[in-house]
């Protein structure tokens, strides 16, 4: 009897799988009742804390006031009681090390009672506020030697604590910052918090100038749109590259790809829908306002977007979204791929980060208003962003740099590596007029003076959309589209907050003390457009012409991670990060080092996998098949010769590329540039030969699930 390959049996298994059965019943359990049930929310705090404690904590959470240490014991007690009433037995300080992933160290609520026969539950304010995980194994970029590897986690009361349920128990999770024993940030959260504080201070200066004195704390907001792929678990486990690198390193294109654009917004398959319902349900329980879901462009690709929240909370929640997607996929026999480019030749996955700033009294500061006065204020904030993005474009490129995202940026489906701003026709026109305004005193058409002319009505809705811009104004926010699907959004948010802080500071400095505010605004906006207007580009970011034009405009085009990372420690970046107390020079250096190491590390793993799959899977098949063809052609009067020659040629090419790969890998050391310019191309060379062989070798012998199977079988 013919033995069925594991690949074929995977397909058979999937095909005969029963359709999903109901696990959620919204007639019995409404999303309304579900929302936030597993978070220690403001509502729960109000119920369980004394009035004084609650209002003190509220001031910390909403107005950014320093936490009053005295309230910690009471909060800890209430938190423990609430968590235990919902079945929690353990707690953990959750933190976000530079790996980009979430880390947790769990402790039990229970201590031995001392009599050898009882355990008592305890959770003191001290334990809530500070933890001390042994942190020696987290990346620190040379900041700490292992013998001083103490790290501290510090409670972040602005991000709600929550419960994570597991079939066997429930854990209370407390979001924390993670710092070294000497006080340096070792995580992604700390700089986000600091940058939000700095942004608040400078934004208020501007608002004060516009006469707003009694104003609430200004906060950055973020709404991340997460793209991801789903494939069947059976396929995932039979592909070593997916398992270890999260993307396919070999794989011939599927006969059908995304050419018909029939997947985008298409009908969502039932099995995927069942998964999505459950994802939404889990996120709702965690108080994460998951809102939008749809098919994306590539087959097997989807998107989820929650409603925006305060940047820090959005960032923590984004980590939970990624974890939840993976967990729930597993329950449905699927695997959620968050890699930026799991499949060559198909669209990759990004994470558009929508960003704005605002508060409860002035609302969204990037929302054009109804009056010229409001519009002048809007133009100042928008101008600040334009100046910031141009001045610090290399930084924005650096914070989205990763080995995975390199395959996406500039690959004609994602924004190019050139950072530019899309404003939309109307807004761009307004800024053009402002720029021309100072040049002439006459009020001819086409010039515009703040406060003198009535500002025209500004676009309320981003009517025109531009998918090719890395940084787009979308009506009342900017959308940073270059962020990769697998990345933490904390780095991009920190960068945006910090560079806009610097711009607002600069502008406030120019406006404060001016006798004629409108004239001063006019002047500063003109100056910004003159010096930084080059960053505005409304055309097609994918086009060849743009690359040439961008070069002419002097815009940087940092194509790869090794090119981009040095910007993290450029003098301009160090200066502003130190000035606003976001990160010190040492901390920036440590980050750059960690990310460089990560880049080399990821490429190294991928190269190992290419070598392994190339040598132990594909090459032997090619040799075996070539031999058979040679023997066959001897008896068949030459039939099979042509194919044999092709197989032989590709086998030689594969072997050669793998030899080169070995050599380059051994020589690359810790130089990211070497990995990027020698190892990466050698991997591609090996892949090209491998993929050619996939198209030649009998299908039933090919052990790796094909693109066609992975992408279309759901
Ligand atoms: P699209 O795909 O059209 O860009 P989506 O609806 O998928 O839009 O996602 C838009 C995201 O932008 C959502 O997360 C939304 O909450 C967020 N958003 C809307 N307004 C703001 C704002 N003021 N600040 C930050 N994010 C915002
Ligand atoms: Mg969207």
Atom from ligand 1 closest to the CA of residue 294: 7
Asked if CATH classification 3.10.20.70 holds for the domain at 35-187, the reply, yes or no, is yes
CA neighbours closer than 13 Å in the CB half-sphere of residue 347: 25
What is the whole-number distance in angstroms between the Cα of residue 294 and the centre of ligand 2? 8
Q: Which two tokens stand for residue 501?
A: 């802080």
Enter the DSSP assignment of 293. E
The third-level CATH classification (topology) of the domain covering 196-448+457-599 is Creatine Kinase; Chain A, domain 2 (3.30.590)
The answer on pLDDT for 50 being more than 90 is yes
Determine the pLDDT at residue 452: 57
Q: Mean pLDDT throughout 44-55?
A: 96
Atom from ligand 1 closest to the CA of residue 303: 7
User: Which residue from 601, 279, 347, 321 is spatially nearest to 489, judged by alpha carbons?
Assistant: 321
Which long-range contacts does 433-440 make (Cβ < 8 Å, 24+ apart)?
434/379, 434/522, 434/525, 434/526, 434/529, 435/525, 435/526, 435/529, 435/530, 435/533, 437/522, 437/526, 438/522, 438/523, 438/526
Q: Is the dihedral of CA 480, 482, 487, 490 positive or negative?
A: negative
- Residue span(s) of the chain under CATH 3.30.590.10 come to 196-448+457-599
| Cβ atoms of residues 272 and 230 within 8 Å | yes
Burial class for 412, CB neighbours closer than 10 Å (0-12, 13-18, 19+): exposed
Q: Which two tokens stand for residue 664?
A: 């380059």
The pLDDT-based confidence of 443 (bands split at 50, 70, 90) is very low
The pLDDT-based confidence of 456 (bands split at 50, 70, 90) is low
The residue with tokens 């400095």 is 509
What is the whole-number distance in angstroms between the Cα of residue 385 and the centre of ligand 1? 18
Q: Mean pLDDT throughout 535-564?
A: 94
Q: Which residue has the higher pLDDT, 23 or 91?
A: 91
From CA 128, how far away is CA 133, in angstroms rounded? 13
**219-232 and 334-337 strand pairing:** antiparallel
The residue with tokens 């009471």 is 74
Nearest CA to ligand 1 atom 24: 356
The pLDDT-based confidence of 146 (bands split at 50, 70, 90) is very low
170-212 per-position pLDDT tens digit: 999 999 999 987 888 999 999 999 999 999 999 999 999 999 9
The answer on pLDDT for 135 being more than 90 is no
The secondary element (H helix, E strand) that includes residue 31 is helix 31-34
| Cβ atoms of residues 471 and 478 within 8 Å | yes
What residues have CB less than 8 Å from 641, skipping those under 6 apart?
A: 629, 633
Ligand 1 probe mutation, 354, 475, 476, 496, most atoms within 8 A of CB: 354
- Residue span(s) of the chain under CATH 3.10.20.70 come to 35-187
What is the whole-number distance in angstroms between the Cα of residue 465 and the centre of ligand 2? 12
The percentage of the chain sitting over the pLDDT mark of 90, rounded to a whole number, equals 72
Q: Which of 28-32, 81-85, 258-262, 609-613 has the lowest mean pLDDT?
A: 258-262
Q: Which of 123-137, 378-392, 423-437, 456-470 has the lowest mean pLDDT?
A: 456-470
The pLDDT-based confidence of 441 (bands split at 50, 70, 90) is very low
389-437 per-position pLDDT tens digit: 999 999 999 999 999 999 999 776 788 899 999 998 878 888 888 888 7
Ligand 1 probe mutation, 196, 305, 352, 357, most atoms within 8 A of CB: 305
Q: Which two tokens stand for residue 683?
A: 């991997």
Alpha helices in 64-188 (DSSP H): 72-85, 125-129
* Ligand nearest to the CA of residue 479, numbered in listed order: 1
| Residue-wise burial string across 519-552, b where 16 or more C-beta atoms lie within 10 A, e elsewhere | ebbbbbbbbbbeebbbbbbbeebbeeebbebbee
Q: Which two tokens stand for residue 275?
A: 């998964």
Alpha helices in 337-401 (DSSP H): 372-391, 393-398
For 181-211, give the DSSP string. Answer: TTS-B-BSHHHHHHHHHHHHHHHHHHHHHTT
Enter the DSSP assignment of 254. P
The gap from C-alpha 441 to its chain's centroid, in whole angstroms, comes to 47
Q: Mean pLDDT throughout 564-589?
A: 97
Atom from ligand 1 closest to the CA of residue 354: 26
Nearest CA to ligand 1 atom 17: 223
Residues with CB under 6 A from ligand 1: 221-223, 225, 292, 305-308, 354-356, 364, 476-477
| Cβ atoms of residues 490 and 395 within 8 Å | no
| Cβ atoms of residues 350 and 460 within 8 Å | no
From CA 296, how far away is CA 298, in angstroms rounded? 6
Q: Which of 20-29, 654-663, 698-707 has the lowest mean pLDDT?
A: 20-29
Determine the pLDDT at residue 439: 39
| Cβ atoms of residues 524 and 383 within 8 Å | yes
Determine the pLDDT at residue 458: 67
């Amino acid at each position: 009897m013919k033995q069925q390959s594991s690949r074929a049996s995977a397909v058979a298994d999937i095909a005969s799988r029963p359709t999903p059965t109901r696990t959620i019943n919204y007639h019995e359990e409404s999303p309304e009742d579900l929302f936030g049930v597993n978070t220690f929310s403001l509502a729960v705090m109000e119920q369980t804390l004394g009035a004084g404690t609650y209002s003190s904590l509220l001031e910390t959470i909403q107005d950014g006031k320093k936490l009053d240490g005295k309230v910690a014991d009471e909060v800890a007690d209430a938190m423990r009681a609430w968590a235990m009433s919902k079945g929690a037995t353990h707690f953990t300080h959750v933190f976000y090390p530079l790996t980009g992933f979430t880390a947790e160290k769990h402790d039990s609520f229970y201590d031995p009672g001392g009599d050898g026969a009882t355990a008592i539950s305890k959770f003191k304010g001290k334990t809530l506020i500070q933890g001390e995980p042994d942190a020696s194994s987290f990346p620190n970029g040379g900041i700490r030697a292992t013998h001083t590897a103490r790290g501290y986690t510090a409670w972040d009361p602005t991000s709600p604590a929550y419960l994570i349920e597991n079939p066997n128990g429930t854990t209370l999770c407390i979001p924390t910052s993670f710092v070294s024993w000497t006080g340096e940030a070792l995580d992604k959260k700390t700089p986000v918090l600091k940058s939000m504080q700095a942004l608040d201070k400078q934004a208020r200066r501007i608002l004060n100038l516009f006469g707003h004195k009694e104003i609430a704390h200004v906060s950055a907001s973020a709404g991340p749109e997460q793209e991801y792929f789903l494939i069947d678990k059976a396929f995932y486990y039979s592909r070593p590259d997916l398992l270890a690198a999260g993307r396919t390193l070999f794989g011939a294109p599927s006969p059908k790809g995304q050419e018909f654009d029939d997947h985008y917004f298409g009908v969502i398959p039932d099995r995927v829908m069942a998964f999505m319902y459950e994802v939404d349900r889990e996120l709702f329980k965690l108080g994460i306002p998951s809102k939008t879901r749809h098919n994306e462009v590539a087959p097997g690709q989807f998107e989820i977007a929650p409603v925006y929240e305060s940047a820090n909370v959005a960032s923590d929640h984004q980590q939970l979204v990624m974890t939840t997607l993976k967990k729930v996929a597993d329950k449905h026999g699927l695997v959620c791929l968050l890699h930026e480019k799991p499949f060559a030749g198909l669209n990759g996955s990004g994470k558009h980060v929508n960003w704005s700033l605002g508060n409860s009294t002035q609302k969204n500061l990037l929302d054009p208003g109804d009056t010229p006065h409001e519009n002048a204020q809007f133009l100042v904030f928008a101008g600040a962003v334009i100046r910031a993005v141009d001045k610090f474009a290399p930084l924005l490129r650096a914070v989205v740099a990763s080995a995975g995202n390199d395959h996406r940026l500039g690959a004609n489906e994602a924004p190019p590596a050139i950072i530019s701003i899309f404003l939309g026709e109307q807004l761009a026109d307004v800024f053009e007029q402002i720029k021309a305004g100072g040049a002439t005193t006459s009020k001819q058409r086409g010039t515009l003076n703040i406060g003198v002319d009535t500002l025209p009505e500004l676009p309320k809705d981003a009517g025109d959309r531009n998918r090719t811009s890395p940084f787009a104004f979308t009506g009342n926010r900017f959308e940073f589209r270059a962020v990769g699907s697998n990345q933490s959004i904390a780095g991009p948010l920190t960068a945006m907050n910090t560079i806009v802080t610097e711009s607002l500071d600069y502008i406030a400095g120019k406006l404060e003390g001016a006798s004629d505010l409108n004239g001063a605004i006019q002047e500063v906006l003109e100056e910004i457009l003159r010096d930084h207007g080059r960053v505005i580009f409304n055309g097609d970011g994918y086009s060849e012409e743009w690359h040439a034009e961008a070069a002419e405009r002097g815009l940087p085009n940092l194509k790869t991670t090794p090119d981009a990372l040095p910007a993290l420690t450029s003098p301009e970046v160090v200066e502003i990060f130190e000035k606003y107390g976001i990160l010190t020079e040492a901390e920036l250096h440590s980050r750059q080092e960690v990310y460089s190491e990560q880049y080399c590390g990821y490429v190294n793993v991928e190269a190992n996998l290419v070598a392994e799959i190339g040598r132990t899977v594909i090459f032997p098949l090619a040799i075996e098949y070539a031999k058979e063809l040679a023997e066959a052609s001897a008896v068949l009067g030459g039939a099979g010769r042509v194919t044999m020659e092709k197989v032989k040629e590709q086998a030689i090419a594969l072997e050669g590329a793998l030899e080169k790969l070995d050599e380059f890998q051994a020589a690359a050391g810790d130089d990211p540039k070497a990995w990027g310019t020698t190892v990466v191309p050698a991997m591609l060379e090996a892949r090209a030969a491998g993929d050619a062989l996939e198209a030649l070798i009998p299908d039933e012998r090919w052990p790796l699930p094909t693109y066609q199977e992975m992408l279309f079988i759901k």
